[in-house]
Amino acid sequence: MTGQPLADLAPEDRLMLVVGRTAQKSVEVEHLMRVIWVDLVGGNADTTTAPTGNRDVVKGIERLADQSIELTEEERTTLRRAVRSASHAQQRRNTVVHERWALDKTTASWIPTTGNSRQMPSDTPKPNWTAAEFESVLIDLHKASLQLAVLAGVVATARGRAPQTISMTAEESMDFRAKLLAIACSLDAEFSLPAIEDVRRMLTGNRPK
């Protein structure tokens, strides 16, 4: 498969590629939620002490965000919305990764043959998945990963745990957080290269201009 154009791959190979990318992006989302949890807890917490289940991590972040006096109400609201969206994307990821798929050659779509991840009775008809539906799961995970990366910067800055912002004044810190928050919110609407480049620039330690 190495170096081979995607269109030239057999349908089964394309499916494996999508499943693999979905699984990898899911790992990024899970890691970022744990990073946010750690920064909200503070102290000597690390990602190994975070809750293990996706639902528990989400509930933990929501509870800790509500208790944080450093975060603004807008930051809390955006963070809650982002982790819930990420959790929903992770649930859809479970279908892609854990389902057993069969190719329907007449419609060029995929049939989920077990239904385990959808928790459906065995006699319930299961809708076919098109390439666009698989792609939408990957896009949702990508958006969740970007949003959580930006919001991790907001939380770390608010909690005084972001090395690149330690030398900032209180006013500069608030301005930095406001810019990151605006980027996170803009990702709800659409992906744009300038926004992604802003994320990369700001999270690598460069101050906003």
The pTM of the full predicted model, rounded to 2 decimals, is 0.78
Q: Is the pLDDT of residue 180 over 70?
A: yes
Mean per-residue pLDDT for 175-199?
A: 70
Q: What angle, rounded to 10 degrees, do the helices at 193-203 and 131-158 form?
A: 40
Q: How confident is the model at residue 129 (pLDDT cuts 50, 70, 90)?
A: confident
Q: How confident is the model at residue 47 (pLDDT cuts 50, 70, 90)?
A: low
By C-alpha distance, which of 148, 138, 162 is closest to 58? 148
Q: Is the pLDDT of residue 5 over 80?
A: no
> Domain segments of the chain: what residues?
7-162
Q: Is the pLDDT of residue 30 over 50?
A: yes
CA distance 126 to 32: 33
Mean per-residue pLDDT for 124-139?
A: 78
Q: What is the pLDDT of residues 53-109, one digit of tens each?
A: 888 899 999 999 999 999 999 999 999 999 999 999 999 999 889 888 888 888 888
Q: Is the pLDDT of residue 50 over 80?
A: no
Residue 109, beta-bridge partner list: 104
